[in-house]
Structure formats: structure tokens, C-alpha cells
Amino acid sequence: MITWTGILTLVNLAIMVGTTLGIVWAFRSSKSRSEREIGERVRLALHEENELLQSRLKRIEGENKHLNDMLQLVIDMLKKTRNITLEIDTTNSIVTFRGKDGTIQVSRLPDEQK
């Protein structure tokens, strides 16, 4: 026969097991929610950094085009006004200068120190 003491003991055991399971479930759900929030913040930060880098790249490409146009203008002006030919080989970093008297001077740009 089951007494009140036995019933209370079983209820107490059920409450303890339920509390333990509830704590474990709450810990897991808060941990996974925190992981999702951190992952979302990381994705957002990487997206913002990517947009910043893309805008910087566009700006630098524009500056590079402008500088190439200016360099071509200087080369054309030297050719027209002084009959001087200036050739720049960007792949090998070589500059060739031909003066109006026929002299040729070739120079190589120094390698960049990294």
C-alpha cells in the first residue's frame, strides 16, 4: 500500500528530475541562441567590411585610371613638344627614354620592398 510519504517522495523525485531536465534544456537553448546571435553579428560585420573594401577598390580603380590618363598625357606632350619618346613597360617595370638626338636610356624600376 502506498502511503503519503511514498507519494511525496515520488513527487519530489519527479520535481527534481524535471528541474534538472529544465535547466539542461534552458542552458542548451540559450547557448544555441547565443551562437546564432554571434554568427549573425559576424556575418553582418563581414558584409559591412566587404562593402567597405568594394568601395575602396572602386575608388582606387578610378584613381589608377586617372593616373594612367595623366601619364599618357605627359607622354603625348613630350612626343609632340620635344620629340621625346617615353615607353613604360608595366609588366617588367622598365622605362625606355628616346631623346630627339637619338639617345636611348633604359631604366628598370627597383623592386618594391615588402
| pLDDT tens-place values along the chain, 114 residues long | 578 888 888 899 999 999 999 998 888 888 888 999 999 999 999 999 999 999 999 999 999 999 999 999 998 998 888 888 888 888 888 888 888 888 888 888 787 654
Kindly list the domain boundaries of the chain, sorted by start residue.
Answer: 4-82, 84-114
Model confidence, pTM: 0.59
pLDDT of residue 114: 47
pLDDT of residue 113: 53
Q: Are 84 and 98 in contact (CB under 8 A)?
A: yes
Q: How far is CA 84 from CA 26, 55, 70, 74, 104, in A?
A: 80, 38, 17, 11, 10
pLDDT of residue 4: 85
